[in-house]
Chain A
Amino acid sequence: MIIAERKPIPEIQSFVAGYHKVLVVGCGTCVAVCLAGGSKEAEILTNELTLSPKTAGARFESRTLERQCDMEFLSELDEQAAEYDALLSMACGAGVQLLAERFSRIPVFPAVNTSCIGVNRSVGWYEENCRACGTCVLALTAGICPVTRCAKGLFNGPCGGTNITSCEIHPDQPCAWHMIYERLAAQDRLQQIMEISPANDWRNQQPRTIVQPGYEERTSALKEQ
């Protein structure tokens, strides 16, 4: 899922300064699970802004949608949005953008920093696991992403900086390539990293549009009608 962290209050206040009626829009999916922008966090932010002398005089209300990265759910706000002179989105960057597109006449501001695609290690503890490189190599690397979890994104690691089992950047950061080595060795599959992994085909360097076969079938069926 997408992991995000709420922005500091002063930064959020700098966005909404001068607006009189602001709707804080929570998102009920990823950012709710990672405790950054769900309905509870939207209410907390609304209260903080209401009580802060810095934003005194302005009205803050909150509403949480199921998903902000989907027009279908955004349409629920169509009537209500017009009552506000700014929207503060607590969704990930994708949700903020779709909200801003749907209500393009109203200023939309982000209330969270979108961090990464990650996993839930425990409530409140998340770990980045994927950078959406577009050419997944997990089959080669024992299910451990070298692009994300190796600080240098090496395809033929480990580098010379490993600190026993940690990465050179920090003792608390496990070396991804050490883990890859150990897991492959345990599975008796080291052979596959004996081969040189060639230079990667970076497919995340231009905006991507993904069209699944289902979409094509549906649109061509519609055309035929």
Chain B
Amino acid sequence: MKSGSKLERILQAGHFAFTGEVGPPRGCNVQALKEKISHLKGHVDAANVTDNQTAVVRLSSWAASLICLQEGVEPNFQMVCRDRNRLAMQADILGASAHGIRNMLCLSGDHQVFGDHPQAKGVFDIDSIQLLAMVKGMRDDSAFQSGGGIDEAPKMFIGAAANPFAEPFEWRIHRLAKKISAGADFIQTQCVYNMDKAREWVKQANDLGLTEKASLLMGITPMKSVGMARYMQSKVPGMEVPEAIIRRLREAGKQNVAEEGIKIACEQIQEFKEMPGVAGIHLMAIEWEHRVPEIAERAGMLPRPEV
């Protein structure tokens, strides 16, 4: 075992993993955070806790991860390269591990121009692949990035993100390979809507033997409305939403569009469950945490295995 996290144990036992996501509040509203977490409890194996998501300041991801832990949901502590240099990152990794946080997801982070402090100086001292290598070095070699020794290494199950859809498509699989060789134990993908491309990408990952080295969790976000689908299609960088999805949502009619969105998500999950090389689902129900139990149920992900 690398960290002994629940997520690691689930995957190791060969179960199909199911992770969720919570976004910390824009303030100290712990009650709101606990409310979001409560919907995930017992329905997911671990919940990603976002780190100043979309470059907007929020309650810090390690602090929110701690609250998650106290509330009985295993956190997947997200860390972006935008806001911390290698000293602050390593300090927070040690701190998170000391408090019992056992999973982390290493990301570049959205550029600060998108957020609420566009004048901020972006740090980007290291990039997400260098961060993966740093965490792995800390965990496996008890060594800081500089090479200096660590007095009791942190225990982390290390995750990376992958976007199978962004250009150049042919390069994406090689970038995935780089992330895995840098140290990723598991991968969570960008929200999938284009199943053809996703199939092709998973096949490439299988062919290169990558799915044997790391566990692939495919990202799913149910569409709540046609407006959301259009927004994702045109405004979210690196996101690909095929017209067919939008058509299906539109044809469902205003009353049933959310229901149709969930239906699409469940169909995708069903297909991924049967797809060789896929080890689980990462459900990003953005501001829709209260629907997670229902989606989990309908997608046949319940009950979650005890390990």
Contacts and interface: CB of A to CB of B under 8 A. Distances in A.
Interface of A: 151-165, 168-169, 178, 181-182, 190, 194, 196-200, 202
B167 A196 contact: no
A199 B126 contact: yes
Interface string B130-165: 100110000000000100000000000000011100
A190 B178 CA distance: 13
B190 interface: yes
Contacts of B145: 199
Nearest to B177: A194
Contacts of A168: 110-111, 114, 237-238
A198 B238 CA distance: 25
Which of A158, A164, A181, A182 has the most chain B CB atoms inside 10 A of its CB? Answer: A158
Given A152-B111, A156-B175, A162 B134 contact: no
A83 B179 CA distance: 64
A181 B110 contact: no
Nearest to B171: A181
B100 interface: no
B181 interface: yes
Nearest to B124: A153
Interface string B201-244: 00000000000000000000000000000000000011000000
16 contacts: A151-B122, A152-B81, A152-B109, A152-B122, A153-B127, A155-B130, A156-B127, A156-B130, A159-B166, A160-B108, A169-B113, A190-B171, A198-B130, A199-B125, A199-B130, A199-B145
A198 B181 CA distance: 13
A160 B190 contact: yes
Interface of B: 81-82, 86, 108-111, 113-114, 122, 124-130, 133-134, 145, 161-163, 166-168, 171, 174-175, 177-178, 181-182, 190, 237-238
A152 B166 contact: no
A160 B108 CA distance: 9
Contacts of B133: 196, 198-199
A208 B259 CA distance: 62
B126 A162 contact: no
A152 B127 contact: yes
A178 B172 CA distance: 11
A154 to B, nearest CB: 4
Given A154-B127, A196-B181, A196-B182, A160 B163 contact: yes
A113 to B, nearest CB: 15
Given A155-B129, A160-B108, 17 more contacts: A152-B82, A152-B124, A152-B127, A156-B130, A160-B163, A161-B111, A161-B163, A161-B166, A161-B237, A161-B238, A178-B167, A190-B174, A194-B178, A196-B129, A199-B133, A199-B134, A200-B126
A182 B109 CA distance: 24
A164 B145 CA distance: 34
B146 to A, nearest CB: 9
Nearest to A168: B237
Given A178-B168, A194-B174, A163 B237 contact: yes
Which of B82, B109, B178 has the most chain A CB atoms inside 10 A of its CB? Answer: B178
A164 B165 CA distance: 10
Contacts of B162: 160
A160 B161 contact: yes
Contacts of A153: 122, 124, 127
B100 to A, nearest CB: 28
A158 B130 contact: no
Contacts of B168: 158, 162, 178, 181-182
Nearest to B183: A196
A109 B175 CA distance: 48
A90 B113 CA distance: 30
A164 B81 CA distance: 23
Contacts of B174: 190, 194
Which of A154, A165, A202 has the most chain B CB atoms inside 10 A of its CB? Answer: A154
Contacts of B167: 162, 164-165, 178
A160 B145 CA distance: 25
A151 to B, nearest CB: 5
Nearest to A160: B163
Contacts of A151: 111, 113, 122
